[in-house]
């Protein structure tokens, strides 16, 4: 059996669908948030402080639960439809954690990307990437990489996401 075949066997189609759907929802919610959730014609993030860490009420009530539902879909499906041991649920839990964290980074990062490349007409910070005064850098700080400000929480979560995905690719599914 070839290496590619083993990798694909270890990473079922439902896992790929979960990662892609959570990522696409994150990008879509970032666009909706930037373009339509406004406070007196300003993007909400620029007009109000976050409620919890760098999250806003509408993210906590709508976007994050939907992202979690999509990211953990393989786990939910397997836990509810198949009688399996906890050890067989480790892979879908790992996938859920990795894809949820990735989608949270996508939601936040794409919001700033939309502000930088496709700003609304009323945004006074149009065409600006993440600034040192933005709330997303207030949690852990930031690093300046190639002239771009990158929140340290993006960098801190990246190894967790990468480890989750690599572990799913190289470890065989349990029976």
Tokens of 73: 């879909």
Residue-wise pLDDT tens digits, 67-105:
999 999 999 988 888 766 777 888 999 999 999 999 999
Residue (of 108, 98, 101) closest to 55 by Cα position: 108
Residue-wise pLDDT tens digits, 130-169:
999 998 998 899 999 999 999 999 999 999 999 998 888 8
Residue-wise pLDDT tens digits, 22-61:
999 999 999 998 988 877 777 787 778 888 877 888 889 9
What is the C-alpha to C-alpha distance for residues 171 and 79, in angstroms, rounded to an integer? 20
Q: How many residues does the chain have?
A: 175
- The Cβ of residue 149 has, within 10 Å, a number of other Cβ atoms equal to 17
| Phi-psi region at 144: left, alpha or beta (left = phi > 0; alpha = psi -120 to 50) | beta
Its pTM stands at 0.89
Alpha carbon separation from 136 to 18, 19, 55, 115, 142 (Å, rounded): 26, 23, 9, 14, 9
């Amino acid at each position: 059996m070839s290496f590619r075949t083993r990798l694909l066997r270890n990473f079922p189609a439902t896992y790929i669908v979960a990662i892609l759907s959570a990522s696409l929802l994150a990008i879509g919610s970032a666009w909706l948030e930037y373009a339509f959730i406004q406070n007196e014609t300003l993007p909400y993030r620029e007009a109000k402080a976050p409620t919890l860490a760098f999250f806003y009420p509408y993210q906590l009530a709508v976007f994050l639960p939907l992202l979690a539902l999509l990211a953990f879909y393989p786990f939910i499906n397997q836990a509810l439809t198949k009688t399996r041991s906890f050890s067989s649920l480790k892979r879908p839990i790992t996938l859920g954690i990795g894809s949820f964290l990735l989608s949270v980074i996508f939601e936040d990062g794409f919001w700033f990307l939309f502000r930088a490349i496709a700003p609304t007409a009323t945004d006074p910070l149009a065409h600006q990437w993440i600034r040192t005064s933005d709330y997303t850098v207030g949690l852990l700080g930031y690093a300046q990489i190639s002239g771009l400000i990158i929140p340290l929480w993006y960098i801190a979560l990246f190894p967790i996401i990468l480890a989750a995905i690599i572990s799913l690719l190289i470890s065989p599914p349990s029976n």
